[in-house]
Structures are given as structure tokens and as C-alpha cells.
């Protein structure tokens, strides 16, 4: 499993890892029933403490995203995809609202903010008419 985490971010590592897993489930990169890497393996791959990964797995199990089986590991829950899509959508909307608010507070016009948003979409490979 590969997703970026930023040790210098103000967002806690556990939150970054949880969001990476939720996005992977939401987009189908992790399918229902699929086994996740073991705690130690993922911790080694992400260069974090195994306790951090164990906490993420416990939290995601409480949310209904994962199911753990003692001795077998953690698996994507059968109904996790829709739950993760809703959570991912809400997370993106929240981040966009915050970015727009920062732009407005910095004195950017709505037109300037829209231009920046459009340029970001282009950079991300999203083409077409965006209003």
C-alpha cells in the first residue's frame, strides 16, 4: 500500500495514514475483503512507529472501515467503500472551503480564486469546462 505522508505536517501521522486508507478504499484501490499489510510491515514502509499503525487499524475498525481477525490481520469491511466515499467527499469539501476562506482573507477576488482552482484542476489532469 502506497500513499504519501508528511512527517512535517501539522496533521498527525495517524490521521494521514487513516485518510490514505480511506481514500484507497473509496477509490477501489483497496477492495472489500482485501487484506491490509500487517502493522509492522506498513509501519516499516511508511517509516512510522508500529503503535501508530495499530492505533489507525483500531480506529478504522471502530468506524466500520476495517475488520480484524486475530491471527489473520486487518481486512477491508464489506460495506466500507460507500462510507469511505462519503468521508473522502466531506474531507475534500472541507479542505476546499478552508482554502477559499484563506484566499478571501488574503484579499483574492472570487475570479482570482476560480482561476487558481481551474489551474489546479488542469495540473491534476482534469480537463474540460469547469465553472
Domain ranges of the chain: 13-81
Residue 15 in contact with residue 3, Cβ under 8 Å? no
Whether pTM exceeds 0.95: no
Question: Could you tell me the pLDDT band of residue 23, with boundaries at 50, 70 and 90?
Answer: very high
pLDDT tens-digit readout, 112-131:
999 999 999 999 888 766 55
Say how far apart CA 26 and CA 70 lie, in whole Å. 25
Of 42, 41, 35, 40, residue with least CA distance to 18: 42
Say how far apart CA 73 and CA 37 lie, in whole Å. 8
pLDDT at 57 over 90: yes
Among the four given CATH numbers 3.30.365.10, 3.40.640.10, 1.10.10.10, 3.40.366.10, the one describing domain 13-81: 1.10.10.10
Amino acid at each position: 500500500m502506497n500513499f504519501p505522508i508528511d512527517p512535517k505536517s501539522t496533521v498527525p501521522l495517524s490521521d494521514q495514514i487513516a485518510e490514505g486508507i480511506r481514500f484507497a478504499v473509496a477509490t477501489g484501490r483497496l477492495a472489500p475483503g482485501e487484506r491490509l499489510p500487517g502493522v509492522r510491515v506498513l509501519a516499516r514502509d511508511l517509516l512510522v512507529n508500529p503503535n501508530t499503525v495499530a492505533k489507525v487499524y483500531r480506529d478504522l475498525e471502530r468506524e466500520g472501515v476495517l475488520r480484524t481477525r486475530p491471527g489473520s490481520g486487518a481486512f477491508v469491511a464489506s460495506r466500507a467503500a460507500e462510507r469511505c466515499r462519503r468521508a473522502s467527499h466531506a474531507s475534500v469539501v472541507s479542505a476546499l472551503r478552508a482554502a477559499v476562506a484563506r484566499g478571501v482573507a488574503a484579499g483574492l477576488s472570487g475570479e482570482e480564486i476560480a482561476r487558481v482552482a481551474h489551474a489546479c484542476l488542469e495540473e491534476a489532469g482534469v480537463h474540460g469546462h469547469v465553472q
